[in-house]
Every structure is written in C-alpha cells, then in structure tokens.
Amino acid sequence: MKNNIPFVIAIDGPAGSGKGTIAKKISTKLNYHYLDSGAIYRVIAYAAKKKNINTESIEELINLVKHLKIEFFENNEWLNGNKVSEFIRVESIGKLASQIAIHDKLRTLLLEYQRSFCKPPGLVAEGRDMASVVFPNANLKIYLSASVDERAKRRYKQLISKGNDVNLSDLAHEIKLRDKRDKDREVSPLVIVKEAYVIETDNLNETETVNKILSLFDKEKRC
C-alpha cells in the first residue's frame, strides 16, 4: 500500500476456474478485503426467482435490487438479514445469474457497491469484469483459465461433496453455455485485458496457483 491507497488484485476467469477458492486464500494470506462479485449476481438471481420477477425486464430487476440488502459476513452471503449461501451455490442460480448479468443498467447500478469493498490495506476482487470495468486501475490483474473438462470435474467434486445430485457431462454442457453467455454478451464480457497475467491451472493445484499469484504480487509491490 502506497500513501494509504488500497492495493487491488483483480482476478477474472470463467465459471469453475477456481477463482473463488484462490481469491479467498490470497485475501486471507495478505489480510486484504475480499469481493466475490459473482455472489452479488447470484443473490439477486435468487431474490428474483423467489419473487417471480421476470428476469428479462430490466425495470423489474432494478426495482428489486433497490430494495435488497446484500451483505457479506461470517464467510456467508446474506439477503435482507437471512443467510442464503447454500441456496445461491446451485447450478440453476448460477445460470440465472448469468442471464441477469447481461443487463447494462443492472451492472452500472452495482458498480458503486462493488467499489465500496476497496479499502486499505487492499482488496482481492474476483469475477468476470474486475480488471476491465470495476477496477480498471487494479495494481495486479490475473486471468485464471482451465479447460472445460477440468472445470466440470472440479465443479462436480464440489457439488457432490455438498450432497448435490449432479452429472458430469451435464455440468460440462452447462459450463460451455455459461462461457458463451459470459464471453459473448455486449456489456462487460469476460475478456483478458492486455495487462493481465494469464495462469493456466489445468496442471496446477490450489497451493501452486496461490503461490504463483503471490510471487506476482511481490513483484508488483516492489515496482
């Protein structure tokens, strides 16, 4: 941190690339704040589903979001005071989140909230547009990548361990669709910005990936 300005690490990547686990570990190691931007879209999707909101109607979505209180504490996500972590981590909500995430007005409305996480000594922010839109001046930009098969296997293990009944090839199919939606959308698509370090994680375990990012962090800090 120079002059009390928070150091920002932006980590982007496709669904199942391991951003969540990696970003959380790095924020813990550095004692930095943490932003899981995907969780914001998931909580909104969950709220929209519960209230039977038409997710194609931006007016209905904006009206919904203005009345939502989304909070992160005790390692959980909270909606209007209720813990919703386990409900938002299912595939159907991930899919709905990527459908509502195409709305430009909604994304703009969420910018200020996401940026409010940026506090000293620093922030690790993960999502799809952290480096490109939300924190374009981030000090370190990482793009985590992995093949569809590897990401489907990781998701499969994660969901099975939580007791969900899932099928590997369905997951791979869902991941491909989500990649397409996230990369092809007009607003804030998932892109690799030119300053980003691209880390291919098919053959790396979590510790190796975390260490790679920490060594890039040390290098950037020294600059």
Pairing of strands 140-145, 197-200: parallel
Compute the least distance from the CB of residue 174 to ligand C5P, in Å: 10
Report yes or no: 35 and 151 within 8 Å, Cβ to Cβ.
no
Return the residue of 41, 117, 135, 156 that touches ligand C5P, per CB under 6 A.
41
Return the residue of 34, 64, 65, 127 that touches ligand C5P, per CB under 6 A.
127
Asked whether position 38 contacts ligand C5P by CB under 6 A, the answer is yes
Give me the half-sphere count of Cα atoms (radius 13 Å) on the Cβ side of residue 195. Answer: 15
Asked whether position 37 contacts ligand C5P by CB under 6 A, the answer is yes
What would the x/- binding string for ligand C5P be over residues 67 to 106, using CB under 6 A?
Answer: ---------------------------x--xx--x-----
Asked whether position 17 contacts ligand C5P by CB under 6 A, the answer is no
Q: Inter-axis angle of helices 37-50 and 58-66, to 10 degrees?
A: 100
**Amino acid letter for position 196:** A
Compute the least distance from the CB of residue 114 to ligand C5P, in Å: 8
Compute the least distance from the CB of residue 81 to ligand C5P, in Å: 22
Asked whether position 155 contacts ligand C5P by CB under 6 A, the answer is no
From first CA to last CA, the distance across the chain in angstroms is: 12
Whole-angstrom distance, CA of residue 157 vs CA of residue 11: 22
| Strand residue runs (E) in 91-162 | 122-127, 140-145
Compute the least distance from the CB of residue 24 to ligand C5P, in Å: 12
Give me the half-sphere count of Cα atoms (radius 13 Å) on the Cβ side of residue 164. Answer: 17
Nearest CB to ligand C5P, comparing residues 57 and 215: 57
What is the H or E stretch that residue 35 is in?
strand 33-36
Compute the least distance from the CB of residue 130 to ligand C5P, in Å: 6
Q: Footprint of ligand C5P on this chain (CB under 6 A)?
A: 15, 37-38, 41-42, 94, 97-98, 101, 127-129, 178, 182
